[in-house]
Chains A and B, each alone.
Chain A
Amino acid sequence: MVEGLIARALGLLEAYGIDRLFNALFIMSFSLIVGYLLSRYIRLWAIARLPAEIAMPLSRLVFLSIVVLGFLLALSHLGVDLSVLLVAGGVAGLALGFAAQTVVSNLLSGIFLYFDRPFKVGDAIAIGNNFGIVEDITIFSTRIRLFDGRLLRVSNEEVFRSNIINLANIKARRVEYQITLAHGTDVTKAIGIIKRVLDQDPLVLAEPAPLIFSPQVTLDGIVVTVWAWTTANLYFDVWTTLLTKIREELNREGIKLAVPQRIVRIREREEL
């Protein structure tokens, strides 16, 4: 039996040629060594720069890619026709690609987000209509603690596609109100009262100076727009209290706010 195996091995060596076999072995060994060294280097580089959940799979992916490439090259050196394998691999890859499209998309988005760094853990951000604090960023999703206490998981693909407002890296924000005054109101007087309220409020910044203007008149009344700046971390405090102060002061000064109104004219039968 042993003699048979030896004879077969010799036959193979004769058929393929010993040099081709050695070449294939050399390619495989070389790819293993290169793959190991390169993946090690990438792992060290990535661990210092990327989160561990990205760094480790990345280095493994590099290692496996190089080893698979080496294996295919070795096979081709041995005379194996790779076209069938490539076609089969291509079809399988296509099917797998369709199946794993979302996963891969989220993965790649996670990597791109990491490099883009539109926010970090702890930042207050707005994604679409969702406002909250970023609690965790993983390779597939981002978790946001909304201001109402709920935890929102957003896939990284969606985060990547969305418009993101990062509220963390700003010093000052503008509070905006639109106040509709009743028709016939002395607008100049009303603006003066609002300005006084803003000037007396220590949390409203003196610079950039507040802006109060009347951009339009509607059916309901005269619209007055108020733009006032405050520090970013006091924005919510100011936004929730300033309008009440303005309204109370206008009320005290006899300025009436508009109530929605419609003029209804009833025609007599003869007019019809």
Chain B
Amino acid sequence: MVFGVPFEELEAGGYVLRVRRVEEDVVFYSRLEGEKEVFKASLDPLLSIYLVPVEPFLNPRKDLVECVYLRLDPPITVRAGGSFVHKTFVPVDYAVVAQRSGEDLRVVDSFVSREMTPKMALYGVPTNGYICRFFHAGNFLEFKPHLAPISIYINNRTERVVIVRNVVIPLQELTVFYKPGTWVSYAAPIAMNIESETVAEISRVTAEPPSADFERSPELLRRSVDIVELGRDFIGLKELVKFRMVWGY
């Protein structure tokens, strides 16, 4: 089985995930790369263990990434005052979570598909920028479980033609859903309002799932990012404060 369903053995992202009961009250979870065990954890036997796609903020290291930096290839040209819906993909991390009925989730393991290297990038300047998960969002014709489709509503509010090369989506504006029992994931659409030649405002259009059979990826995986510096217009990693790309798009 796949996302959101308890498993005993599962292949995901180029790894084999295995849950095995050694004794009556000892259960081991392990992640194998071929024959090599790359991760191991012992678990409470009463826990259900399943795989979910989550926002790409757990890799390459936890509590490091603040945004997703999408490099659009090819760039998008938007006419003055015009709008454009760009459909692309964002990477998702895989999280193996353990849950006992009625209790909170616990992340046992997180990893990235071996098809990609979880690269990071700096958006902004070294003294005051954001560390982002970098992704080269080209044209993908083939469905891949580690990529979630996302729609970016680009609104050019300027009186000039603009070329959008990069989109930076902050942590709290990105929401991933998945369809239990399948490999399908989905990212909630994002609005990108272009305000000037270099500044664009990024916000989530809706946090609703595309249909009733989708489930929200676990919220506990999100980092609580507080506002970095109040009073400076370009900083806004707090709910209700709009995130603005001020170092160009």
Query: Could you tell me which A residues sit within 8 Å of B by CB distance?
Result: 169-173, 199-208, 229, 231-234
Choose one: A169, A202, A232; the contact of B120 (CB below 8 Å). Answer: A202
Instruction: Please determine whether B134 and A207 come into contact, CB atoms closer than 8 angstroms.
Output: yes
Quick one: closest A residue to B65, CB to CB?
A: A231
Interface stretch of the complex, out of B40-48, B123-131, B182-190: B123-131
Q: How far is the CA of A71 from the CA of B226 in the complex (A)?
A: 55
Quick one: closest A residue to B124, CB to CB?
A: A171
Instruction: Please determine whether B134 and A172 come into contact, CB atoms closer than 8 angstroms.
Output: no
Instruction: Please determine whether B131 and A231 come into contact, CB atoms closer than 8 angstroms.
Output: yes
Instruction: Please determine whether A169 and B119 come into contact, CB atoms closer than 8 angstroms.
Output: no
Count: A-B pairs, CB below 8 Å: 54
Instruction: Please determine whether A231 and B117 come into contact, CB atoms closer than 8 angstroms.
Output: no
Give, as a whole number of angstroms, the nearest-CB distance from B88 to chain A: 17
Instruction: Please determine whether B123 and A207 come into contact, CB atoms closer than 8 angstroms.
Output: yes
B59 at the interface (CB under 8 A from A): yes
Q: How far is the CA of A208 from the CA of B120 in the complex (A)?
A: 10
Quick one: closest B residue to A171, CB to CB?
A: B129
B221 at the interface (CB under 8 A from A): no
Give, as a whole number of angstroms, the nearest-CB distance from B129 to chain A: 5
Choose one: B59, B122, B127, B128; the contact of A202 (CB below 8 Å). Answer: B59
B107 at the interface (CB under 8 A from A): no
Q: How far is the CA of A200 from the CA of B114 in the complex (A)?
A: 11
Chain B residues, Cβ within 8 Å of A173 = 126
A-contact 0/1 string along B97-130, CB 8 Å cutoff? 0000000000000000000011111111011111
Chain B residues, Cβ within 8 Å of A232 = 126
B69 at the interface (CB under 8 A from A): yes
A-contact 0/1 string along B189-212, CB 8 Å cutoff? 000000000000000000000000
Q: Name the interface size band of chain B.
A: 20 to 34
Instruction: Please determine whether A207 and B127 come into contact, CB atoms closer than 8 angstroms.
Output: no
Chain B residues numbered 36-61 whose CB sits less than 8 Å from any CB in chain A: 59-61
Q: How far is the CA of A207 from the CA of B125 in the complex (A)?
A: 11
Contact A207 to B122, CB < 8 A, known contacts A171-B129, A172-B131, A202-B117: yes
Instruction: Please determine whether B121 and A171 come into contact, CB atoms closer than 8 angstroms.
Output: no
Instruction: Please determine whether A171 and B130 come into contact, CB atoms closer than 8 angstroms.
Output: yes
Quick one: closest B residue to A173, CB to CB?
A: B126
23 contacts between A and B (CB under 8 A): A170-B127, A171-B126, A171-B131, A172-B122, A172-B129, A173-B126, A199-B119, A200-B117, A201-B117, A202-B118, A202-B120, A203-B60, A203-B120, A205-B119, A205-B120, A206-B121, A207-B69, A207-B122, A207-B134, A231-B120, A232-B126, A233-B64, A234-B61
Instruction: Please determine whether B126 and A170 come into contact, CB atoms closer than 8 angstroms.
Output: yes
Q: How far is the CA of A15 from the CA of B123 in the complex (A)?
A: 83
Q: Which 10 A-B pairs have the closest CB atoms?
A: A207-B121, A202-B60, A206-B134, A206-B119, A172-B126, A172-B122, A206-B121, A202-B118, A171-B129, A231-B131
